[in-house]
Amino acid sequence: MSRLAVFAAALAAVLSFAPVAQAQSVPLRLYTLDCGTLALDDMAPFSDTGEHAGERGVMAVPCFLIRHGSEWLLWDTGLGDRLAAVPGGISQFGGRWTVGRTLVSQLAGLGLKPSDITYVALSHTHADHSGNANLFPNATWIMDPVELVGLHADPAPLGVIPSLLTVLDHATIRRFDGDADVFGDGSVLILKTPGHTPGHKSLLIRLKGAGPILLTGDLYHTRENRAYHRVPSVNVSRADTLASFARFDGVAAHENARIIVQHSTEDVATLPVAPAWLE
């Protein structure tokens, strides 16, 4: 795709963003949960122009819980509670995956059980974002259908472990292509940002006190990815990634949003840890 075509796609995506103007009328809170850590042997895959070759790195793996009145949205589900029982974690996909606190125990600290979660949405279906998916068979799943296709591919896409997502064979799924207004009042919007995977999404939360917050998913993996628009070599589409960078940055500027790069230990460290919250 030419640079002009990439720019045109990005511009169209920015212009298509039509937030609901209705005022938020119910309490909205954002909780950050610790859903694991990735210690990576080589950060080379996170730039296709070679800047990170040979570097070691550590990435945070948070999950985010949004309370909207009496309803709850869980955004991403982490590495998987099963890893908490494995001393030192496991080696997988070029790094060591460790879990110090289970998602279930952190929900319990808020007085919740997995069955209390109303909605679950994933930025994408990679295993570091879907490890606890099967804990939520009673939730309504908000999913782009294109992300579901890979779960039945042979072989599965790189980074996807279909057995972690068998819940989707039987769960209620709210399918959407594009953006999704989770609660119908414009307070929480799932944004289409493909490129890392075909149906990748980011999340905008419009908090009254703390202001708008944008969660990147894996659109960006590090602060350097964002600052220099470095495209991971493992992404399915470079052109879509660049268009999504432009769209995301346009939304961030329009909303004057605080950006949280989800895998950035620095960004995640700026957030209060549950049971504390932002509102």
Q: Is the pLDDT of residue 171 over 70?
A: yes
Structure tokens at 244: 């999504």
Residue 6 has pLDDT above 60, yes or no: no
- Closest-CA residue to 251 (of 195, 197, 218, 206): 206
Residue 274 has pLDDT above 80, yes or no: yes
CA 161/CA 205 separation, integer angstroms: 28
CA quadruple 225, 226, 229, 232: dihedral positive or negative?
positive
Which of the pair, 247 or 4, is modelled with greater confidence?
A: 247
Q: What is the pLDDT of residue 199?
A: 97
Average pLDDT estimate for 134-160: 96
Q: Rounded distance, CA 44 to CA 59, Å? A: 14
**252-262 residue pLDDT tens:** 999 999 999 99
pLDDT at 9 over 80: no
What is the signed CA dihedral for 206, 224, 33, 233, rounded to 10 degrees? 110
Query: What's the mean pLDDT in 130-151?
Result: 97
Alpha carbon of residue 214 to chain centroid: 10
Q: How many CA atoms lie within 13 A of 48 on its CB side?
A: 13
Q: 217 with 203: CB under 8 angstroms?
A: yes
pLDDT digit string (tens) for 190-238? 999 999 999 999 999 999 999 999 999 999 999 999 999 999 999 999 9
Taking the C-alpha atoms of residue 129 and residue 107, their distance in angstroms, rounded to an integer, is 17
- Residue 91: the pLDDT is 96
DSSP state of 165: G
For residues 73 and 188, the answer to whether their CB atoms sit within 8 Å is yes
Per-residue pLDDT at 8: 45
Q: Look-up: residue for tokens 């949960």? A: 33
Helix (H), strand (E) counts: the chain: 7, 13
d(Cα 221, Cα 232) in Å, to the nearest integer? 9
pLDDT value at 3 more than 60: no
In this prediction, residue 16 has a pLDDT band, given cuts at 50, 70 and 90, of low
What number is the average pLDDT over the span 162-183? 97
Cα(275)–Cα(33) distance, rounded to whole angstroms?
9
pLDDT at residue 108 in the model: 98
pTM of the entire structure?
Answer: 0.93
Share of the chain above pLDDT 70, in %: 91
Would you state the pLDDT for residue 201? 98
d(CA 211, CA 279): 8
Q: What is the average pLDDT value for the chain, to the nearest integer?
A: 93
Residue 101 predicted with pLDDT over 60: yes
Residues 23-53: b if buried by 16+ CB within 10 A, e if exposed: ebeeebbbbbbbbbbbebeebbbbbeeeebe
**pLDDT of the residue at 26:** 84
